Structure 1
Amino acid sequence: MHIQTFITLTVILLCDAKLPRQKETYQINELPANPTQNAAAQRLLQFDRKTKTTSKIVDQYKVRNRRNVFDSKSYESGLIWAHSERLDESGDVVIRWVNSDSSITFRVEAKTKGYIGIGFNSRRNMRGADLVVAWVDDRNGNAQILDCHGPEIDNIAVADEVQNYELISGYQNETHTTIEFRRQLDTCDRQDFLIGDDTTQVLWALGPDGSDGELPKHVHSGSRPLRLLLPVPKPESIPLRHWDVRLFNLTIPHDMATLFWCKIFKAPDLPMKHHIVGYQPLIDSRPIRNGRPILEKNSLSPVHHMVMYECAEDLDKQMWNDWAESDGEFGPMRPREWASCVTPIAAWAMGSKGEFLPENVGIPLGEKGGVSYYMLEVHYDNQALHEVLDSSGIRIHYTPSLRAHDAALLGSGIGVSALHVIPPKQRQYRTVGICSPECSTNTMPEEGINIVSVLLHAHGQARKISLKHIRGNEELPRISEENSYDVHYQQSRIVPGGRKFLRGDTLITECTYDSTARDKPILGGYSVLQEMCLSFVLYYPRTELAGCYSMPPVQEFFETFGVKEFYGISMVQVENLFFSSGSLDNLPPQLELDFKQQQRAEETAVQGDDQGVGLLKELLIKEPPEFRNKTFIAHLNEMPWSESLLTEQIEKTLYRGTHMTFCKKRDDTWGAPIEIQNFPNFTELQNNETADKTCHYKSVKLPSVTTPNIANTINLSRFTLTALTAIQILYIMR
């Protein structure tokens, strides 16, 4: 639970005009003489008008005595709730909901006899949030509700000019308050949050017992990222079995900030082909205290994400059987043969509950219809440097009742390496990974494939991710898109109606990052201090394609940052190193010695598989003279990143310049030759502005959901109211 959230949600109490925040105000046309204060004064005037509006609305609410009030003793909605989530770790606040095409209905059950505050926002605070405050009057048992919002200029709650929430029911027992309410997904009210496909930060706050209508300081608060418009889960009516693919008592050392661990598993011995139809995470992490693992309430697991891969068939069964019996290997040290495990089967990341596949698709399992061996790759984020005993993994659900289609997962996006660079101090910096038309042409059937769902994955600096679909010279509607990405909530997304992807089409995974909090460039890699930009695409029918990625061509990458030559190593050798995931096999002897010495001298916590970061620390620049005798990392760190001319040119060059594309098949062979290609030329899809064009920003009256013959029905009345040159110039200017 975030301390900041506790602080920022404190003032949800101010929905009642009894407790308005008093500030100095100015009369109209009486701005301060100093013009630099005018903007601040205007904000104060605006705030003053809002507090007066709040007082007016709440006064009218009191006169009516029961505005949006419900007698809880006479009515219960009886709705069937499609989704349910805990908003806090202990389960004291539970939210349930169900939505139609135009509206959404909520039920909140909270351990309080005071008020309940619920908010919806794209960020974890009240500024700009849509807020609703509800309680059950202790005197008469009537439920009451008030529609509020958080102004952008302060962490307060202000009553909306138009009340767009409809109270359905509310009641209270000895320990809990339960409220049911409804609203339109898009109320056409600028003071309300538009509920759509993006992740929503659901804020909550609980008032102390007896805080009916008084709304004093809350006693508990927090937030939880959720996607509210999810497909209704369908219970399985077929026999299901499960296979637990998990590690056993792996000790995560206290000096490993990032750890990748891989283990081989042998498939269940099945007499016929079965279908994998879903998977769920198995998180079992126990902190080690005084040499003993303990069960600790609210202890955070260091498991960051897990991917299960198919391994290509190998004639040496005994070798793979031995590996399956072993405890596994540290990622960068795993046997070379494990590189054949490239086809993702299940991909889980923080916040996900796993996934059950649509009823018409399943992933083949077993030697008779699938493959014999699988690899589980677990990424641990242990920045807190704790010693932990871990037995986490994935539970695979499978069935002998075969689905209509064999499905598969395809990994796409930016190849994970240190050549993926995000400059610091950038509000919106974009990078892209391309799945080339040559790859889809060479690996897909003539009729193409059908995309079912997508898991979008990046790390903490990502704010937006989208999977774009290009056909010819035209961009089609986005396959999947997240405009409020939260690294702590990475749930796969069903593609409504599916998407037909044809041979010759192109996939583009685009990530937008906010690096304003970082002082140095962020490099691509597996550590949470590094970044990724990936899409895991579930599709059918199953093909030989396993992965389709791109990365900047090595020489063009270094030239983008003004570097033409290094001491002791050619660009071709550097390129080979990145192709081999940072292996030192092709490194010149002296540079290899320096690199190993640097690794031993590193005093910070080990970050695991750095995907070339260590190499960039050792590459010594020879040309041009302006940067001579600097390591490439030192050069990156010293660049004038505050100069927008520089960062804009680098973004443009790496985004719309050339890309080296990779197309990997399930048997670990290339599905298409490695090529350097220009960024595809296409007409970009324009944003949909339909909502702004059709909304008049006023109340949208909801049809009543109550029964006509019930007394005390809801009152629905509404209130209206070129890069190298640029780098050299900037260095000279300094």
Structure 2
Amino acid sequence: MQLQIIVTLSVLLLCDAKLPRFKPHSQPNELPSNPPHSQGLGQLQAQSKTEKTSRIIDQYRVRHRREIFDSKSYESSLTWAHSERLDQNGDVILRWVNTDSSITFRLEAKTRGYVGLGFNSARNMRGADLVVAWVDDRNGNAQVLDCFGSEHEDRAIADDVKNYELISGYQNDTHTTVEFRRQLDTCDKQDFVIGEDTTQILWALGPDGSDGQLPKHVKSGARPLRLLQPVSKPESIPLNHWDVRLTNLTIPHVMATLFWCKIFKVPELPKKHHIVGYEPLIDSRPIRNNIPVVDPTSQSPVHHMVLYECAEDDDKHLWNTWSEGDGYFGPNRPSAWATCATPIAAWAIGSQGEFLPENVGIPLGEKGGVSYYMLEVHYDNQALHNVLDSSGIRVHYTSSLREHDGALLGAGIGVSALHVIPPKQKQYRTVGICSTECTQETLPEDGVNIVSVLLHAHGTARKISLKHIRGTQELPRISEENFYDSHYQQSRMVPRGRKFMRGDTLITECTYDSTSRDKPILGGYSAKQEMCLSFILYYPRTELAGCYSMTPVKEFFETFGVKEFYGLNFMQVENIFLSSGSFENLPPQPLMELEAQKHNVNETGEQGMQGDDQGVGLMKELVIWEPPEFRNKSFMAHLNEMPWAEPLLTEQIEKTLYKGMHMTFCKKRDDTWGVPIQIQSYPNYTELINNETSEKSCHYKSVRLPSVTKTSAGATNKYSWLTILALCITLIVAR
């Protein structure tokens, strides 16, 4: 038997040697394979790769390409599900549509040179997945080059494996347009896996005439996007809109952080309506020489906005008066506004708003039970500019009622200075809990259905996940972002929804990178402080509005080695944190060591007034009495002087605050407690093991897509290797 196999293989090889040599059919993106290379990118390797890339591009430019389709005669008839400007002027527009396994792009760029598109987790091309496309000025044929970014410098290297397929391409007097596609996961180490996480979309435009060359780009940029987000905009239903916005609010240059709140009365509606979506209205004009001006290059200080329902109140006259006024600075708003506790729309930087699924709507109108709403706008004005602002939210609503009444639930870590992230940490985790007791008491017997989630934190957050615990078992994550970008906070649809039962637990976990910070980061509303929140859209509507936790005061301060403060016990400090935050009854400070507080640059390294600081000011006022080695220092000074470079210290603090005791809060829509405040241990459960990577069987070879390209009339058909093999076998049999 072995002898027969050897003889057969010998005959096949002989047959193959005598047949004319045919090259495999080349797809437009199939360049000659690069020779094997090592993973290191030293000077010799870098020079070799540069020469190799230049050689490939030269071959790509000069060889006869008549087998490529005439791109001017072909353009796909795809319906593009998504369309985004990648730059502010609209010179680069990306459209795309995806299936379960592949994604197709249309790139429209204002250039007659090359256009580059890249995918990365960072806002640079180092290690990025890159594709460079152009249209040949001589024959009008479009071409694409599969590349990747060097790990050590900003330059493109031709990829060994070609995973981009050209569909069409053409250019006119001003623009170049190309269409191409790829697999979501190509199993190629040099390619970026396109998934549910935020992707940094890189773009670059080459100079005119740079067909097949890679000179330095003339324009470039990056924009965070989630490419696999579902389409949620309603099709053709009768929609009305209600603009909930401020009017000519002056943001003073002395306020680095400002919260402004205003009451609005609902439109006069004859019956119940449903809110089905919302979008931001950003109108910020810098004031120059006492005149507000329109400047497209000026960045708005609007950081995030939340629209809250207000519980019903018999004093309609007072609420009408408030609705006709200009509003209040956040900490000074009337105490009755605390009943405006149920969020119905949450917007943050980078979001374009949200439209609800077709079976869910949020009740609107007095006939639906709510008459007044509060808009809360957070301004981040670290540049300390004078700005005139009229921003807000456009609410879309309809009289065509949906099947279910929906609501929004706020969860995570209660915004407070008791939320601390040490400096110089690469991956530091904090966690907020929505307790079993809260959901057991407030949710219906059949539970609720979670539709979408907006994950919210500030600039040092890198990962956020919303965990789902049932009993002692963690279920698959409801929502997760592994490449969080605070400049792109679009809500995330939950695929196929999620059933959340009475007695289940929610855990919002945030991971921070504070390596660029020299001092601890406190929780708060300033963009230089931090948050860890989830805004969860669900149905059917319940009385639950907020479900949070934070570290109990005594456990928090003891974690940092503090046993007692001057003139205050821990119970009194806790009451201050849980009350309005008034510090009027604080004892006089015994030392004058806190002079830094009198300057614009304070102990947390922030400039200007920070508005609603949620206890940050208290951290600077509390003076340590015990233990003696810390005596007469403010707690903030103590935090700043801790040896944060010691990993054993930070690891122990993280473990204690994460897995230790938690004070839980369960708030209803009318600002009453769903269950009393409780102090409880971190839930005991079996963590979910993510084994998706181990189940993958990628061998890092090219994954070919079915061809959708057309060839020109003069193109020559080539034999495939399978055809040659079949011919050999036929000749053997014939003999």
* TM-score, shorter chain, exceeding 0.5: yes
CA distance in 2, matches of 1:57, 1:665: 65
Residues 173-212 of structure 1 correspond to what in structure 2 (within 5 A)? 173-212=172-211
Counterpart residue identity of residue 438, structure 1? E
Q: Which residue of 2 aligns with 1:98?
A: 97
Deviating more after overlay: 234-243 vs 93-102 = 234-243
- Asked if 2 retains the 8 angstrom alpha-carbon contact of 1:57 and 1:161, the reply is no
What do the CA deviations read for 1:599-641 (whole angstroms, capped 9, x no partner)? 7665641111111011010101011112111110000000000
Residues 530-679 of structure 1 correspond to what in structure 2 (within 5 A)? 530-584=529-583, 587-588=585-586, 590=588, 604-679=607-682
Counterpart residue identity of residue 503, structure 1? R
CA distance in 2, matches of 1:710, 1:338: 73
CA distance in 2, matches of 1:333, 1:717: 77
- Asked if 2 retains the 8 angstrom alpha-carbon contact of 1:74 and 1:710, the reply is no
- Asked if 2 retains the 8 angstrom alpha-carbon contact of 1:166 and 1:716, the reply is no
Matched, 1:680 2:686: no
CA distance in 2, matches of 1:601, 1:136: 59
CA distance in 2, matches of 1:337, 1:68: 74
What do the CA deviations read for 1:189-209 (whole angstroms, capped 9, x no partner)? 000000000001000110111
* Structure 1 residues 563 and 446: alpha-carbon distance in aligned structure 2, compared to 1, 3 A threshold: same
Counterpart residue identity of residue 557, structure 2? F
Deviating more after overlay: 337-346 vs 44-53 = 44-53
SS in 1 for 2:478: strand
Q: Which residue of 2 aligns with 1:500?
A: 499
Residues 46-445 of structure 1 correspond to what in structure 2 (within 5 A)? 46-48=45-47, 50-51=49-50, 53-54=52-53, 57-58=56-57, 61=60, 64-66=63-65, 69-445=68-444
Residue 689 of structure 1 and its aligned partner are, at CA, apart by 3.1
* Structure 1 residues 522 and 552: alpha-carbon distance in aligned structure 2, compared to 1, 3 A threshold: same
- The count of corresponding residues between Structure 1 and Structure 2 is 684
Counterpart residue identity of residue 557, structure 1? F
* Structure 1 residues 685 and 50: alpha-carbon distance in aligned structure 2, compared to 1, 3 A threshold: farther
Matched, 1:701 2:699: no
- Asked if 2 retains the 8 angstrom alpha-carbon contact of 1:70 and 1:168, the reply is no
CA distance in 2, matches of 1:716, 1:674: 75
- Asked if 1 retains the 8 angstrom alpha-carbon contact of 2:125 and 2:155, the reply is yes
CA distance in 1, matches of 2:593, 2:674: 34
SS in 2 for 1:73: helix
- Structure 2 stretches of 5 or more lacking a match? 1-28, 602-606, 722-735
Residue 49 of structure 1 and its aligned partner are, at CA, apart by 5.2
Q: Which residue of 2 aligns with 1:726?
A: none
CA distance in 1, matches of 2:591, 2:371: 40
Deviating more after overlay: 590-599 vs 150-159 = 590-599
Residue 314 of structure 1 and its aligned partner are, at CA, apart by 1.2
Counterpart residue identity of residue 652, structure 1? K
SS in 1 for 2:122: coil
Counterpart residue identity of residue 673, structure 1? P
* Structure 1 residues 602 and 701: alpha-carbon distance in aligned structure 2, compared to 1, 3 A threshold: closer
Asked which structure has the greater CA Rg, the reply is: 2
- Structure 1 stretches of 5 or more lacking a match? 1-14, 21-26, 29-38, 719-734
Counterpart residue identity of residue 605, structure 1? G
* Structure 1 residues 206 and 62: alpha-carbon distance in aligned structure 2, compared to 1, 3 A threshold: closer
CA distance in 2, matches of 1:655, 1:379: 28
Counterpart residue identity of residue 625, structure 1? P
* Structure 1 residues 108 and 717: alpha-carbon distance in aligned structure 2, compared to 1, 3 A threshold: farther
* Structure 1 residues 614 and 594: alpha-carbon distance in aligned structure 2, compared to 1, 3 A threshold: farther
* Structure 1 residues 710 and 105: alpha-carbon distance in aligned structure 2, compared to 1, 3 A threshold: farther
Residue 705 of structure 1 and its aligned partner are, at CA, apart by 2.0
Counterpart residue identity of residue 658, structure 1? M
* Structure 1 residues 560 and 566: alpha-carbon distance in aligned structure 2, compared to 1, 3 A threshold: same
What do the CA deviations read for 1:544-567 (whole angstroms, capped 9, x no partner)? 000000000000000000001000
SS in 2 for 1:368: helix
CA distance in 2, matches of 1:408, 1:359: 15
Counterpart residue identity of residue 627, structure 1? F
Counterpart residue identity of residue 134, structure 1? A
Counterpart residue identity of residue 130, structure 1? D
- Asked if 2 retains the 8 angstrom alpha-carbon contact of 1:70 and 1:170, the reply is no
- Asked if 2 retains the 8 angstrom alpha-carbon contact of 1:425 and 1:518, the reply is yes
* Structure 1 residues 68 and 541: alpha-carbon distance in aligned structure 2, compared to 1, 3 A threshold: farther
SS in 1 for 2:73: coil
SS in 2 for 1:590: coil
SS in 1 for 2:78: coil
Deviating more after overlay: 287-296 vs 598-607 = 598-607
What do the CA deviations read for 1:643-662 (whole angstroms, capped 9, x no partner)? 00000000000000110000
What do the CA deviations read for 1:5-35 (whole angstroms, capped 9, x no partner)? xxxxxxxxxx9x9xx9xxxxxx99xxxxxxx
Matched, 1:460 2:463: no
Counterpart residue identity of residue 702, structure 2? S
SS in 1 for 2:379: strand
What do the CA deviations read for 1:93-127 (whole angstroms, capped 9, x no partner)? 10000000100000011110000011100000011
CA distance in 1, matches of 2:717, 2:476: 41
Counterpart residue identity of residue 509, structure 1? T
Counterpart residue identity of residue 647, structure 1? T
- Asked if 1 retains the 8 angstrom alpha-carbon contact of 2:468 and 2:506, the reply is yes
Alpha-carbon RMSD: 2.7
SS in 1 for 2:72: coil
Deviating more after overlay: 47-56 vs 500-509 = 47-56
What do the CA deviations read for 1:287-319 (whole angstroms, capped 9, x no partner)? 111001111122211100000001111111111
What do the CA deviations read for 1:307-363 (whole angstroms, capped 9, x no partner)? 000111111111111111110000011111111111001000000000000000000
* Structure 1 residues 471 and 713: alpha-carbon distance in aligned structure 2, compared to 1, 3 A threshold: farther
Residue 704 of structure 1 and its aligned partner are, at CA, apart by 1.6
SS in 1 for 2:417: coil
CA distance in 2, matches of 1:713, 1:479: 53
Residue 270 of structure 1 and its aligned partner are, at CA, apart by 1.4
CA distance in 2, matches of 1:189, 1:642: 38
Percent same amino acid at aligned positions? 76
Residue 570 of structure 1 and its aligned partner are, at CA, apart by 1.2
What do the CA deviations read for 1:254-274 (whole angstroms, capped 9, x no partner)? 111111000011111212111
